[in-house]
Amino acid sequence: MVVSPGTAQKPEADTLTDFDAVVIGAGVSGLYQLYRLRELGLRVRVFETGSGVGGTWYWNRYPGARFDSESWTYGYSFSPELLEQWDWEEHFAGQPETERYLNYVADKFELRRDIQFKSRVTSAHYREATRSWDVTLEDGRRYSTRFLITAIGVLSAPTMPRIAGVDTFRGLSCHTHHWPKEPVSFGGKRVAVIGTGASGVQTITEVARTVGHLSVFQRTPQWCAPLHNARISKEEMRQIRANYREIFARCQQTYGCFIHASDPRATHEVTPEQREAFWEKLYEEPGFGIWMGNFRDILVDREANALISDFLARKIRQRVKDPAVAEKLIPRNHGFGTRRVPLESGYYEVYNQPNVQLVDVKQTPIERITPSGIKTSDAEYEFDIIIYATGFDAITGSFDRIDIRGVDMALLKEKWKDGPQTFLGILVDGFPNMLMVMGPHAGLGNFPRAAEYSADWVTGLIHFARERGLTRIEATAAGAADWTDHVIASSQGLLFTEVDSWMTGINRNVEGKQTRRIMRYSGGHPAFRERCDAVAAGGYRELSLA
């Protein structure tokens, strides 16, 4: 039944369930979702696997972990008081600072009293008779809730490589996501890092500062660009604070909610000299400008992409002294920006250190992990520490790890086996009352900017439903099919779709994730918001409400 606004009475408090809403995850989006739902007066419980708040910034405490977004664009925007009180220390905050920030937010808004830590949700089953969800934790405890809200992140299901012998290594070994809270010393140690994505690049650069000997096992090189981090002076912070309104407004206007907007010119509209000067300028500037603030066609036009890739290749050759090593560090199977660009702070110079070795595992594949190290096709290496920077089962992985079942016990993982199907990345037909903050096929980007919008939209919908006594919210199959088609169409022509990466759903360490699919909405966040706002303004008529 589709209901128009204002047709029912406001309900009494819903006492059929333990909670009005369960939020899974106390990271950036879960914390804010809790804050917003409390404003509605809901009985909310957040279940969080970790023992503290922060999600990504609670888990990923690996050496060198830090933002690639400007800190002052990353913080929450919803509270003027919070903006007034919090001083960022660095333009690109390290993990400890971000974790401190999120703890500060949790304390300031007294969020902890509704968060249950060390509580991993293992299953969530929809019950039609009561229009509610039964949520089960790893320890067997069970709760019921009207609304199930997933705030489980995009990159939160880490994956170990499928290499024989991983469990046999006798030294310290750890995935970057699971890095221990206690400090790890690398002085005099023989360390291996497997993986050269954004996590690997940061880890390698930091470990190299103090390591005895470092071996990097690289399968695919990345196009990295300089971060140019710096401390924020008191005066700079004062200016940032005075400009928050403009900063957030600008983020709303850009494709990915970052401060960087693409240049309106096409690559070939300028002379080679102008092009070179522009790229030199971007290379010297902090943050994602070279990726997001570049000529408008570098991610769609093969020739333009080849030119910017060539510029970056020249930079690598300039910075790495050994030409053979430099060539190994230059990507050959994808162009600049078609994978997520890792930002670096001296990454390439690491390979000029005499105690650092680059092992190309495409040339000499890893055969197994041994009790004392790593065996490749041509050598055996001994290590004290092996770091797995091997990435995540992205976007849908954290959903797949929970037994989520909707109407008639249909399994979400099964429904999405050929790729996600959602309405606005927020709702799924057949899974009533489940709402996803930053779900697959939602508008992605500078995470908190997009997450705040998503959580606001979810809050608006729940408010609408409660005002009208509606207890069942579901996407229609037609709505989900239309949105899925639109998401796929919006990625047409973008070069990233031709490349294996987490952004195209590839993870060779996970069964069933070997085929590329469209995992994110590529129409840009302004278009995403426009569509979502229209659905809300239309009284959610495109949903099935009862």
Nearer to ligand NAP, 33 or 71 (CB): 71
Neighbours of 16 (CB within 10 A): 10
Closest residue by Cα to residue 311 from 275, 346, 274? 275
> Near ligand NAP by CB under 6 A, which window of 25-33, 195-203, 418-426, 484-492?
195-203
Q: Does 219 bind ligand NAP (CB under 6 A)?
A: yes
To the nearest whole angstrom, how small is the minimum distance from the Cβ of residue 156 to ligand NAP? Answer: 10
Of the residues 25, 27, 197, 337, which one makes contact with ligand NAP according to CB under 6 A: 197
Q: Does 259 bind ligand NAP (CB under 6 A)?
A: no
Q: Is 392 exposed, middle or buried (0-12, 13-18, 19+ CB in 10 A)?
A: buried
Of the residues 44, 93, 115, 194, which one makes contact with ligand NAP according to CB under 6 A: 194
| Nearest-angstrom CA–CA distance, 29 and 452 | 7
Nearer to ligand NAP, 476 or 497 (CB): 497
Strands (E), 114-248: 115-116, 121-127, 132-137, 142-150, 172-175, 190-194, 213-218, 225-226
Q: Does 256 bind ligand NAP (CB under 6 A)?
A: no
Q: Does 389 bind ligand NAP (CB under 6 A)?
A: yes
Please answer whether residues 43 and 70 qualify as being in contact, where contact means their C-beta atoms are separated by less than 8 angstroms: no
Find residue 44's DSSP bridge partners.
21
Q: Does 204 bind ligand NAP (CB under 6 A)?
A: no
**197 SS3 class:** coil
Nearer to ligand NAP, 222 or 433 (CB): 222
Strands (E), 263-406: 343-344, 356-360, 366-370, 373-376, 380-382, 385-388, 403-405
> Near ligand NAP by CB under 6 A, which window of 103-111, 178-186, 370-378, 384-392?
384-392
To the nearest whole angstrom, how small is the minimum distance from the Cβ of residue 54 to ligand NAP? Answer: 14
Q: Does 195 bind ligand NAP (CB under 6 A)?
A: yes
Of the residues 163, 216, 329, 359, which one makes contact with ligand NAP according to CB under 6 A: 163
To the nearest whole angstrom, how small is the minimum distance from the Cβ of residue 489 to ligand NAP? Answer: 24
In sequence order, the 6+-apart residues with CB closer than 8 A to the CB of 490 are 521, 522, 523, 527
267: alpha, beta or left, given left = phi > 0 and alpha = psi -120 to 50?
Answer: alpha
> Near ligand NAP by CB under 6 A, which window of 42-50, 141-149, 179-187, 191-199?
191-199
Q: Does 315 bind ligand NAP (CB under 6 A)?
A: no
Of the residues 43, 45, 61, 66, which one makes contact with ligand NAP according to CB under 6 A: 66
Distance of CA 461 to the CA centre of its chain: 24
- Give the helix, strand, coil percentages of the chain, each rounded to 5: 35, 20, 45
Nearer to ligand NAP, 200 or 397 (CB): 200
Q: How many residues bind ligand NAP (CB under 6 A)?
A: 26
Nearer to ligand NAP, 217 or 483 (CB): 217
Q: Does 391 bind ligand NAP (CB under 6 A)?
A: yes
Could you give the C-alpha distances from 523 to 46, 265, 313, 486, 501, in angstroms and in order?
31, 19, 29, 9, 19
Q: Does 361 bind ligand NAP (CB under 6 A)?
A: yes
Alpha-helical runs (H) found in 323-446? 323-329, 347-350, 397-400, 412-415
| Nearest-angstrom CA–CA distance, 358 and 344 | 17
Nearer to ligand NAP, 210 or 345 (CB): 345
Q: Does 73 bind ligand NAP (CB under 6 A)?
A: no
Residues 492-521 that bind ligand NAP (CB under 6 A): 502, 509
> Near ligand NAP by CB under 6 A, which window of 138-146, 198-206, 273-281, 489-497?
198-206
Q: Does 340 bind ligand NAP (CB under 6 A)?
A: yes
> Near ligand NAP by CB under 6 A, which window of 189-197, 248-256, 259-267, 303-311?
189-197
Nearer to ligand NAP, 195 or 479 (CB): 195
> Near ligand NAP by CB under 6 A, which window of 385-393, 421-429, 474-482, 510-518?
385-393
Of the residues 155, 216, 358, 428, which one makes contact with ligand NAP according to CB under 6 A: 155
Nearer to ligand NAP, 367 or 403 (CB): 367
Of the residues 14, 20, 68, 429, which one makes contact with ligand NAP according to CB under 6 A: 68
The bridge status of strand 19-24 relative to strand 44-47 is: parallel
Residues 410-469 that bind ligand NAP (CB under 6 A): none
Sole residue written with tokens 């919090």? 86
To the nearest whole angstrom, how small is the minimum distance from the Cβ of residue 542 to ligand NAP? Answer: 31
Containing 273, the helix (H) or strand (E) segment is helix 272-284
Please answer whether residues 211 and 203 qualify as being in contact, where contact means their C-beta atoms are separated by less than 8 angstroms: no
Please answer whether residues 46 and 115 qualify as being in contact, where contact means their C-beta atoms are separated by less than 8 angstroms: yes
Hey, what's the torsion of the CAs at 79, 81, 83, 88, to 10 degrees?
A: -130
Site mask for ligand NAP (CB under 6 A), range 103-142, x = bound: ----------------------------------------
Neighbours of 163 (CB within 10 A): 18
Distance of CA 492 to the CA centre of its chain: 22
Residues that bind ligand NAP (CB under 6 A): 66-68, 155, 161, 163, 194-200, 202, 217, 219-220, 340, 361, 366, 389-392, 502, 509
